[in-house]
């Protein structure tokens, strides 16, 4: 940001746009052209990796959409959750001999970055640690976990202002009050694991919890 006419001969530019909309249209056209270049060069990058006789796996994901989707000429405010969702993929080259892509019902269409390593080991059919096995179970119970609701403006559904954002399997925001007892127990275990490995006394370091088996 800002996206300010970086590309020559940008076919997405709208020269006929009213002067009052020039900034918005130029910004959007520049962003979309950049996305097109990203698509092209990502495909080229993966083609090159596919020609290498060494197992390689790529986890590719975005952060969030840019802050350019503001209401223009009376338009509606974009859905905050949608603005914070991006595509992702987990891909392996031919030398990896990864298993066939897992069905969406198993991997989940919705995820968050804390689950990527567990999803990658599933994709590869690789050995896992007890921790990664735990994350697989967490992902099935809570498909995505993100920042607290108060960090996503104009989103009303929350347990309280400090509650994380949880998504269900349909990608809809859900509350921890809707979780089963088993899911709540997993979530509490997850909090304890995270605390131990960050601010706690690292008790798990003296166990095999993080070791591959």
9: CB partners within 8 A, 6+ apart: none
Residue 213 shares a structural domain with residue 117: yes
Residue 115 shares a structural domain with residue 206: yes
With respect to residue 33, please indicate whether it lies within any of the assigned structural domains. yes
Residue 94 shares a structural domain with residue 114: no
CA atoms within 13 A on the CB side of 126: 19
106: CB partners within 8 A, 6+ apart: 122
Amino acid 147: pLDDT: 77
Q: Using CA of residue 120, residue 199, residue 134, residue 176, what is the dihedral sign? A: negative
Q: Which residue has the tokens 């952060």?
A: 63
Residue 11 shares a structural domain with residue 82: yes
Cα distance between residue 195 and residue 192, in whole Å: 5
Residue 60 shares a structural domain with residue 139: no
Residue 1 shares a structural domain with residue 94: yes
Compute the average pLDDT of residues 83-99: 83
pLDDT tens for 127-148 read 999 999 999 999 999 999 987 7
Among residues 53, 73, 98, the one where a domain terminates is 98
Among residues 78, 98, 118, the one where a domain terminates is 98
Residue 79 shares a structural domain with residue 119: no
pLDDT band per the 50, 70, 90 thresholds, residue 149: low
pLDDT tens for 154-184 read 555 444 557 788 999 998 889 889 999 999 9
With respect to residue 138, please indicate whether it lies within any of the assigned structural domains. yes
Between 22 and 60, residue with greater pLDDT: 60
Calculate what percentage of the chain has a pLDDT beyond 70: 79
Strand, helix or coil for residue 145 = strand
Amino acid 159: pLDDT: 45
Cα distance between residue 170 and residue 154, in whole Å: 20
Query: CA torsion, points 43, 47, 49, 53, in degrees to nearest 10?
Result: 160
Among residues 69, 98, 127, the one where a domain terminates is 98
The domain in which residue 49 lies consists of 1-98
Residue 93 shares a structural domain with residue 160: no
With respect to residue 104, please indicate whether it lies within any of the assigned structural domains. no
Residue 37 shares a structural domain with residue 80: yes
What's this model's pTM, rounded to 2 decimal places?
0.81
Number of domains in the chain: 2
């Amino acid at each position: 940001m800002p996206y300010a006419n970086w590309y020559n001969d940008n076919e997405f530019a709208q020269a006929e746009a009213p002067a009052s909309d020039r900034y918005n249209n130029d910004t959007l056209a520049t962003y979309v052209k950049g996305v097109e270049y990203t698509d092209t060069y990502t495909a080229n990058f993966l083609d090159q990796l596919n020609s290498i006789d060494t197992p390689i796996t790529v986890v590719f994901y975005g952060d969030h959409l840019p802050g350019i989707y503001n209401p223009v000429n009376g338009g509606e405010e974009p859905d905050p959750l949608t603005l914070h969702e991006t595509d992702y993929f987990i891909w392996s080259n031919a030398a990896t001999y990864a298993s066939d892509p897992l069905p969406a019902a198993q991997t989940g269409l919705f995820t968050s970055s804390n689950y990527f390593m567990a999803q990658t080991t599933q994709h590869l059919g690789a050995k896992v640690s007890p921790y990664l096995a735990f994350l697989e179970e967490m992902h099935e119970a809570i498909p995505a976990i993100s920042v607290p609701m108060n960090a996503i403006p104009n989103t009303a559904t929350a347990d309280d202002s400090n509650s994380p954002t949880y998504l269900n399997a349909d990608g809809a925001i859900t509350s921890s009050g809707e979780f089963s007892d088993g899911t709540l127990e997993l979530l509490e275990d997850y909090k304890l694991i995270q605390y131990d490995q960050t601010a706690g006394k690292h008790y798990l370091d003296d166990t095999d919890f993080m070791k591959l088996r």
